[in-house]
Structure 1
Amino acid sequence: MESSVLAFATDLLDEGPDAFFGNLTERAGVGGVTLASVYHEARDVFPHNPRRVVRYLEPGAAYFRPDPARWAGRRLAPVPSTAIGDRDPFAEAAEQAHRRGLRLHAWTVFCHNDRLGFQHPDCAPANAFGDRHRTELCPANPEVREYATTLVEELARYGVDAIRAESLHFHGLRHGYHHERYFEDLGPTAEALLGICFCTHCRAAATAAGVPADEVRDAVREEIRARLTDERRAAEPAALDTLADGAVAAYLDAATRTVTSLAAEVAEAADRHGMRLTFMDGAGPGKGWLSGIDLPALAGTAHQIETLGYARTPEAVREKVAAFALHGVRPQEMAVILRPMSSDCDGPDNLAAKIEILRALGVPEVEFYHYGLMRLSSMDRIGAALR
């Protein structure tokens, strides 16, 4: 079974290559590193970082040096993080990883880009009222799709083994903007409907599929207004597949085809350069419809599906993987991310049991989250569990 640890480029820069790669190989004993290439805004605590304990990550920043010629004339282009200065941590990681015989994966956040969405709101999703969700990019937008495939081509020059594609899909209303405020209870239906994109490109895709897109938008707008106005109505559940005589469901089905086709384009770009595309599904089976995630279709498009195996018990991890099998994703086509920290594991035996379950199910790859956010003792726990 292949193994790697997810990490930030700033972990490498702050610690230096000897300490960073030494911890990966000598403490954790893994065979690869999954390094963030593009990441969203965050504030994190770093237990073992020698230079800082709390760090703010910039919105929608790149942690490699883009080739200006490749992005000339394009509005959507990766912006290097100020944290990397004039260095190229991906080039440094690639050189070190290849010299040490380790695999290098590019952990890439595609459509949750809280820099480009604010800079170019016409590329962000629009709800039924035309309000733009600026922390995201819309997967149906042609410029966004070109940005995604070009990003893969950029990363290929570092000798990357796989693209770990996070956020290669739509998002709901609640997706991590700081100081989000919902003082009235919207109810699950209004919240779900507020997350559906009705931008020009999404409506065109739905219309091409025979869906009356403008009628769906008007029906969704009316339903949201009713639930925002009436507290009792907000609390009433509603089946989205029955709204507007099923037209809302048909519209959402068109959105899943948008995501699947984008994943196919990105997978093809990766394949041309000898890389795999791993589609990261953090929602889990049966929960991704509103995000445009059709697991059986994506399993036939991407090279691999990755999910979060965050759970306290090995049995819960087994259940998570088994649920994917019920949705058309075989364990042999998966990678699973585990957390070795005390929030999920009470010791190396717990982690070892989870790894053994994944191995027995036929899962070929396990990853551990997250290098900079765990104590060194958690790194030791990985090494003991793998041994």
Structure 2
Amino acid sequence: MVNTVAYLYPWDVLGDPRAVDRVAALGVSRVALGASYHAVRAATPLHPRHRIVHATHGALYLPVPGRRWAGQAIRPRSAAAWTGRDDSFLAARDVVRARGLPVDAWVVLTHTDDAAGFAPRNAFGDTYGYGVCPAFREVRDYARTLVEEVVRAGAPDGLIVEACGPMGVGHQSEHEKTAGADWDALDERLLSICFCSACTELMTDPDRARSAVAAAVGTGRFVPDEVAADVLGVRSAVTAALRDEVVFAARGADRLGFFADPDPWAVGPSAHVLEKADLYVAAAWDASTSRVESLRDAVAGRVGAYVTILPPTVPDADQLTRDWQALIDAGADELHVYHAGLASAARLDAAARALRNLKEGNP
């Protein structure tokens, strides 16, 4: 049976004496617990005290000591406004561990609204205020310090890092109203190329690149090869630099995992990070095996399949069993199940039965 990881926020655990029992009943091997996360409005359908938690901004779920952030341009904010305390990760971690489950700290890096001055900027000059661009030295300093603090103060059993690279245009933001533009995958790739001041300083010919990218949007064509090589070279370099900062900062963790994608143009939660970690997690929410197979071919470490039990997934244990078995057959060493706090009782029950089927060899 492969390792299984259930994802949770600290507020799912705190104030609910039955939360960890529900998670343990899934049959999972460990828990990935949010330690640094972006703004979100989250349902808590089984919590005894509330039904909605609104995290109004990106936050660190650990104390934010001023001395550790002195002189830095970007500093994380506290989550006390909606958790009631500044150490909610620690409190939830201890509850989960008391049930015998190891806890990985789930850390989101460049998907944050903490520093609009360092936001990505597309070829039209539009900024994406839900992210920060790792081409800025200040962003990499922020990421390094953030991970160091999570490892030092959070003392997790492992680290799962999301968004270790540039953010792109695809994002569910406040009342997102972009679907009707009918941008295809090529348009989204073009609109995800960053032209912030830090990126353009690294480009060979930023004016040509900006003009070519802007002109290509909506045409069904990509930019000339030399322009593509220029902008992709910058993206690859800054993603690798950010990854190296994280690897250095996480040196005290027992295991380090990245949400990863073998596509060098990848942006958002899963970046093109394929080296220097113990685990690489492929997005498999659509139950397709292709990303797992591609990642398995590209890395030497363990491969995880990131699966969802939320819509549009149907809470059907037999279908989940077949889908997850296919991902395992494709090369997944772990199943990462999103999300044990957001799911209804019916969805948790279907997931538990599917994992039990896999353990018993009944696909």
- Considering the TM-score relative to the shorter chain, is it more than 0.5? yes
> In structure 2, what is the equivalent of residue 84 of structure 1?
83
Find the partner of 1:164 among 157, 160, 164.
160
TM-score by length of 1: 0.80
Cα distance in 2, alignment partners of residues 376 and 2 from structure 1: 22
What letter is aligned with 1:338? V
| Higher Rg of the two aligned structures | 1
Classify 1:6/1:128 alpha carbon distance in 2 versus 1 (closer, same or farther; 3 Å).
same
For the residue of structure 2 that corresponds to 1:106, the secondary structure is: strand
CA drift of 1:186 comes to 7.4
Report whether the alignment pairs 1:72 with 2:52. no
CA drift of 1:345 comes to 4.4
**Equivalent residue runs for 1:68-217 within 5 Å:** 68-81=66-79, 82-114=81-113, 116-118=114-116, 121=117, 123-157=118-152, 158-181=154-177, 185=181, 187-188=183-184, 192-206=189-203, 211-217=204-210
Any conservation in 1 of the 2:315–2:346 contact (CA below 8 Å)? no
Find the partner of 1:321 among 292, 298, 301.
292
Cα distance in 2, alignment partners of residues 247 and 70 from structure 1: 40
**Equivalent residue runs for 1:1-387 within 5 Å:** 1-15=2-16, 18-25=17-24, 27-81=25-79, 82-114=81-113, 116-118=114-116, 121=117, 123-157=118-152, 158-181=154-177, 185=181, 187-188=183-184, 192-206=189-203, 211-221=204-214, 223=215, 234=218, 236-240=219-223, 242=224, 246-270=226-250, 272-281=251-260, 285-286=262-263, 289=265, 291=267, 295=272, 298-311=273-286, 316-326=287-297, 328-329=298-299, 333-341=302-310, 343-387=312-356
Give CA-to-partner distance per residue, 1:277-300, whole Å, 9 cap, x none: 32214xx554x51539774xx222
For the residue of structure 2 that corresponds to 1:133, the secondary structure is: coil
Q: Which has the higher helix share?
A: 1
Cα distance in 2, alignment partners of residues 181 and 249 from structure 1: 31
Cα distance in 2, alignment partners of residues 192 and 349 from structure 1: 36
TM-score by length of 2: 0.85
Cα distance in 1, alignment partners of residues 349 and 177 from structure 2: 40
For the residue of structure 2 that corresponds to 1:80, the secondary structure is: coil
Cα distance in 2, alignment partners of residues 83 and 380 from structure 1: 28
CA drift of 1:362 comes to 4.7
Give CA-to-partner distance per residue, 1:36-72, whole Å, 9 cap, x none: 1122222233321222223322221222222322112
Cα distance in 2, alignment partners of residues 23 and 129 from structure 1: 48
> In structure 1, what is the equivalent of residue 361 of structure 2?
none
Classify 1:202/1:184 alpha carbon distance in 2 versus 1 (closer, same or farther; 3 Å).
same
> In structure 1, what is the equivalent of residue 360 of structure 2?
none
Cα distance in 2, alignment partners of residues 165 and 356 from structure 1: 25
CA drift of 1:34 comes to 0.8
Classify 1:181/1:318 alpha carbon distance in 2 versus 1 (closer, same or farther; 3 Å).
closer
Cα distance in 1, alignment partners of residues 235 and 246 from structure 2: 17
Any conservation in 2 of the 1:205–1:258 contact (CA below 8 Å)? no
Cα distance in 1, alignment partners of residues 182 and 323 from structure 2: 38
For the residue of structure 1 that corresponds to 2:139, the secondary structure is: helix
Classify 1:74/1:194 alpha carbon distance in 2 versus 1 (closer, same or farther; 3 Å).
same
Q: How many residues align?
A: 351
Any conservation in 2 of the 1:260–1:294 contact (CA below 8 Å)? no
CA drift of 1:111 comes to 0.7
Any conservation in 2 of the 1:260–1:301 contact (CA below 8 Å)? no
For the residue of structure 1 that corresponds to 2:115, the secondary structure is: helix
What letter is aligned with 2:129? R
State the percentage of identical aligned residues. Answer: 29
Give CA-to-partner distance per residue, 1:238-277, whole Å, 9 cap, x none: 123x2xx62233222221221122112202221x213433
Give CA-to-partner distance per residue, 1:100-156, whole Å, 9 cap, x none: 331111111111112x133xx2x1122335443222101111111011111111111
Any conservation in 1 of the 2:282–2:295 contact (CA below 8 Å)? no
